[in-house]
Amino acid sequence: MDAGDLKIFQAVAREGSISKAAVALNYVQSNVTTRIRQLEAQLQVPLFHRSNRGMLLTPAGENLLGYADRILQLLDEAEEAAQQGGPPTGNLRLGSIETAVSRFLTPLLAEYCSCYPKVQYSLVTGGTHELNQKVMKHELHGALVYGPIDHSELQYIKMYDDELVLIARSDEQDMSILLHRPMLFFEIGCSHRDQAESFLRTQGIRTLNVIEYGTLDTIIHGVATGLGVSLLPRSSVAQAASRGEIVILPVPEPYSRLEVGFIYSRGEHISSALHALVEIMAEPEQ
């Protein structure tokens, strides 16, 4: 078993299929299949359940994946350590709640890339719980999440405060009526959605008419066209409100309080690419 075997195994586990892993790795599909079979033969245990729906990890595969993630991360860190002395290089895998991408993360990454062009970064969006898990499993180097986060495996740095507000079509402003309209939300797992639902229960709304509506832009557009209302951070909807597409209505304390912060794995080597990003995040606003 070598690093190449672990990289292929990790890709199949992440992608859920041989074909998708082959595309991600730019390998021939038959080569990926052969390497997985050889790894299973070497370990004398099946690593995947195979079905028409794809490749699912067996318990043995789940155990191996944890080690594979750590070993491959250490190899990346060893390569970087040998190259230290110059500007940050390598890969930086980031995650973010969607509401923080355009308002905060995009301009920050523009500054970061101009300073450190040799770093190759990738970005995925998701809910806070999902992103926490990905950082702890070393699938991501760091992520922007709703906070505060107090976890033994995670380092948390507060980035900014935000405010939960109700948004509606621009000609609708009666809160008592609006709260009974369909609620357009991100998928289950978004922590600000939990906060929003807690607020609705205080208003006597026990049965929620929730429509899971995908991305931030589609939610705003859905609200603007009258499909329903939503509860979102003020920073993520301020531009749409300034254009007259929607109206913003305040939510009472303490349900309006939101905090966004950056997390990364605690107690492990921090790559120069991640360290540089954290330093930019820590810089005071001008």
| Structure confidence at residue 95 as a pLDDT band (50, 70, 90) | very high
Per-residue confidence (pLDDT) for residue 263, from 0 to 100:
94
Going 201 to 203 to 204 to 210, the CA torsion angle's sign is negative
| Structure confidence at residue 283 as a pLDDT band (50, 70, 90) | confident
Considering only 241-245, 266-270, 272-276, which range has the smallest mean pLDDT? 266-270
Final residue belonging to a domain, choices 52, 81, 110: 81
Top pLDDT among 112 and 272 is at 112
Per-residue confidence (pLDDT) for residue 177, from 0 to 100:
85
Q: Is residue 142 over pLDDT 90?
A: yes
59: CATH: 1.10.10.10
Q: Are residues 233 and 191 in the same domain?
A: yes
Per-residue confidence (pLDDT) for residue 83, from 0 to 100:
58
At position 274, the amino acid (one-letter code) is L
Q: Are residues 100 and 171 in the same domain?
A: no
Q: Are residues 251 and 276 in the same domain?
A: no
Residue with tokens 């330093």: 279
Q: Are residues 188 and 52 in the same domain?
A: no
pLDDT above 70 covers what percent of the chain? 92
Retrieve residue 164's tokens: 């939960």
Distances (CA, A) of 237 to 17, 151, 184, 217: 38, 30, 14, 9
Q: Is residue 186 over pLDDT 80?
A: no
| Structure confidence at residue 172 as a pLDDT band (50, 70, 90) | confident
pLDDT, average across residues 157-165 = 91
190, with CB counted inside 10 A (0-12, 13-18, 19+), is buried
Number of separate domains in the chain: 3
Q: Are residues 237 and 271 in the same domain?
A: no
Q: Are residues 107 and 176 in the same domain?
A: no
Q: Are residues 166 and 252 in the same domain?
A: yes
Torsion on CA atoms 157, 162, 164, 168, rounded to nearest 10: -130
109: CATH: 3.40.190.10
| Number of C-beta neighbours around residue 193 at 10 A | 21
Tell me the residue range of the domain where 219 lies: 162-257
Buried b (16+ CB within 10 A) or exposed e, 46-82: ebbeeeeeebebeeebeebbeebbeebbeebbeebee
